[in-house]
């Protein structure tokens, strides 16, 4: 039976001998597109997760009136330092301020040594974030709030870099400005 399934070919080309072996498939299983599923396969996960318990677990996800007084290492939330991250396509600028807005540290990708187009990359943003995180820890800052403004490649990696640098991030806020009166579109191209 095995010899019937397997055939061997020998080809000799310029004194090279190569053998090719072919086999027929052991089982022929065809996909039937008109098959009706036994049970509804699309909603199997519906019974696995209880949605009410998930919502109760995320009860403290959004801020309330009492959120400003929650203590983090003995410091109320409203008195935590704030790291403002301004992300653009060309650069990423980090500003560490206290709760009142007084600037304590400023770092940018250009100050870190990245030049020209490399300033706008996510690697530059992450490296700068690690740098400012180590400087903040040297000043005794452990817990921070993060505000991100702008769209660019270093947006997510900047927050990751702060965490990799050893800072405890309590909250992340998106402060990107939205224009409700956008600029006029370009003139239509004539063909």
Would you say residue 152 lies in a domain? yes
Q: What is the pLDDT of residue 182?
A: 87
* Spacing of C-alpha 88 from chain mean position: 17
User: Does a structural domain hold residue 160?
Assistant: yes
Residue 114 lies in a domain: yes
- Give how far the C-alpha of residue 34 lies from the chain's centroid of Cα atoms, to the nearest Å: 40
DSSP code for 185: P
Structural domain including 97 reads 70-174
Tokens 């740098």 identify what position? 131
- List phi, psi (to 5°) of 8: -120, 135
To the question of pTM greater than 0.75 for the whole model, the response is no
The pLDDT of residue 61: 73
Residue 45 maps to a domain: no
- Residue ranges of the chain with per-residue pLDDT less than 70: 1-51
Q: What is the pLDDT of residue 8?
A: 47
Q: Work out how many domains the chain is built from and give that number.
A: 1
Tell me the CATH number at 92: 3.30.420.80
Q: Is residue 42 part of a domain?
A: no
Is 86 among the domain residues?
yes
In a domain, 23, yes or no: no
pLDDT at 64: 79
Q: Is residue 119 part of a domain?
A: yes
The pLDDT score that the predictor gives to residue 53 is 75
- The answer to whether the beta carbons of residues 160 and 129 sit under 8 Å apart is yes
Q: What pLDDT score does 58 carry? A: 72
């Amino acid at each position: 039976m095995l010899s019937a399934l397997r055939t061997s070919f020998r080809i000799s080309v310029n004194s090279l001998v190569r053998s090719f072996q072919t086999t027929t498939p052991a089982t022929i299983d065809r996909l039937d597109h008109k098959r009706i599923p036994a049970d509804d396969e699309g909603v199997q996960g519906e019974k696995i997760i209880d949605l009410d318990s998930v919502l109760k677990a995320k009860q403290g996800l959004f801020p309330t009136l009492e959120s400003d007084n929650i203590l983090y290492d003995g410091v109320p939330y409203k008195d935590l330092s704030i790291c403002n991250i301004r992300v653009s396509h060309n650069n990423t600028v980090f500003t560490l301020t206290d709760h009142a807005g007084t600037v304590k540290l400023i770092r940018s990708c250009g100050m870190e040594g990245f030049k020209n187009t490399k300033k706008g990359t996510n690697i530059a943003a992450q490296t700068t974030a690690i740098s400012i995180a180590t400087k903040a820890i040297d000043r005794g800052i452990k817990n921070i709030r993060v505000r991100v403004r702008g769209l660019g490649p270093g947006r997510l990696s900047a927050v990751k870099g702060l965490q990799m640098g050893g800072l405890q991030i309590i909250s992340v806020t998106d402060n990107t400005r939205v224009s409700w009166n956008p600029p006029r579109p370009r003139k239509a191209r004539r063909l």
